[in-house]
Amino acid sequence: MSTTSSSTLAIPRERFELPGGAVLIVSPRPHAPVTAVQIHVRGGVHLDPAGREGTAEWVGQFLQQGTAHKDEAAIAECIEPFGGSVSGNAQGLRGTMAGDRWRELLDVMMELVAEPTFPDGPVQVQMERTRSHLKVQEEEPRVQGGRRFRHLVYGAHRFGQPTGGSLASLQAVTPADLREHHAKHWGSARAIVAVCGDVTPDAVHEHVLRRLGAWDVGTPCPALDDTFPAIEARCAAFEKGREQVHIYFGHLGVPRAVPDYASLVVMDHVLGSGPGFVNRLSKKLRDEQGLAYSVHGDIHHSAGLLPGMFTAYIGTSPEHLATAVRGIRAEVRTITQELVGAEELQMAKDYVTGSMVLGYERASRRAGSLIAHEIHGFPQDHLDRLRAEYAAVTAEDVLQSARAHLFPERACLAASGSVTQAQLEALHPAQDD
């Protein structure tokens, strides 16, 4: 067990190593009105069987259909009358509960991860609902444009396929497959449990130990596939007559462990993820040229254990396709060639550092931060260090990071709506703008 030292942004926590390899992290917040619990299971979509992509996501989503002791209605009765909620995905479970009833929430969530049954009837109902949702997505240009972009960037890697699967992969999955996947990959040896609220760490620890016996230990998470296609210009169109064109521009990004992460966050806020008054893509393409209502770009948000994506997105009218693509490329190129101005840089840094404190007010955000700290091996004073790194970023740092990680002439380009493959190929690879 270890504790943090006091610090402006430090999230108080106690860490416990549990029998079987699981980790419990508890962050006490006296008088907090809500308790948040997250149970993260390492592996996620990486472990989907070929041809059955989406299995990991559906395992997480359908846990609440029944356990060895409760059906769906009984599970809901344990938490909903007290303002509680639970949801799952490929990475595990998230839950919140009002008041001091954290034990009920923790009991339900640990039962869900340890003893789900995936009963045939209820699961088939949920799969039919999922099928209807996927059918809608098959015709949705923005969704399909994003999927084509991911495939251009990641190729045959699992990241190149939709997290939530496809109609074809759903057709190949049965409730028995979900039970098998859970038994193989949801052991406690891969788990991180985070609890944040008006709790006592020792009490939470004792409670979890009492419930741990029902959870199979399983095996450690296997190594993740880290083989990706080269960064080079590729393009793809999803042709669907609409009044708007959705454009995705970018390439393979960086892992969270990249040394200049702080510089990249500041760079992103200057380029495309900050508020409109410091965001070049919004200021130039939306406000000055009137090309779109929605436009953004960043490289840091998707960074994880493996590289995320640098993605710039804009939704515009079909007649502005070429102008929008060239405008995005020009802004990305500029930030790799010229120093950002002193005022522009300071505004971005002030926004990034100022928003950090407010960002951790919610219990669920704090619980997620505890998980991230454990996954990435961050030091206890990570948030204070990170804020200091943001404040120290210089214009030269931004330029160096942009040159190291942004490649506008080798970016992938995907678009959906009233657009053709021939139109994209005429714009890509980059012509002299």
**Domain layout of the chain by residue ranges:** 2-214, 235-427
Per-residue pLDDT at 6:
40
Query: How would residue 355 be classed by pLDDT, with cut points 50, 70 and 90?
Result: confident
Per-residue pLDDT at 10:
80
Per-residue pLDDT at 430:
60
Phi-psi category of residue 98: left, alpha or beta, with phi > 0 → left and psi -120 to 50 → alpha: beta
pLDDT at residue 239 greater than cutoff 80: yes
pLDDT, tens only, 410-428: 999 999 999 999 999 999 8
pLDDT, tens only, 243-285: 899 999 999 999 999 999 999 999 999 999 988 667 999 999 9
Can you tell me the mean pLDDT for 301-320? Answer: 97
pLDDT at residue 429 greater than cutoff 80: no
pLDDT at residue 432 greater than cutoff 70: no
116: cis peptide before it, omega within 30°? no
The region of weakest confidence among 163-167, 334-338, 356-360 is 356-360
| Best CA proximity match to 423, nearest among 153, 431, 291 | 431
Check if the beta carbon of residue 405 is closer than 8 Å to that of residue 253: yes
The token pair at 249 is: 């521009």
CA pair distance 214, 195, nearest whole angstrom: 19
Per-residue pLDDT at 4:
39
What percentage of the chain exceeds 90 in pLDDT?
Answer: 89
CATH 3.10.50.40 fits 2-214, yes or no: no
Mean pLDDT, the chain, rounded, equals 94
CATH fold for the domain made of 235-427: Cytochrome Bc1 Complex; Chain A, domain 1 (3.30.830)
Per-residue pLDDT at 9:
80
Whether 2-214 and 235-427 share one fold: the answer is: yes
Query: How would residue 241 be classed by pLDDT, with cut points 50, 70 and 90?
Result: confident
pLDDT at residue 357 greater than cutoff 80: no
Can you tell me the mean pLDDT for 347-363? Answer: 86
pLDDT at residue 203 greater than cutoff 90: yes
Phi-psi category of residue 25: left, alpha or beta, with phi > 0 → left and psi -120 to 50 → alpha: beta
Per-residue pLDDT at 1:
44
pLDDT, tens only, 4-23: 334 478 889 999 999 999 99
Query: How would residue 369 be classed by pLDDT, with cut points 50, 70 and 90?
Result: very high
Q: Full-prediction pTM beyond 0.85? A: yes
CA pair distance 133, 118, nearest whole angstrom: 20
**Based on C-alpha coordinates, what's the Rg of the chain?**
23
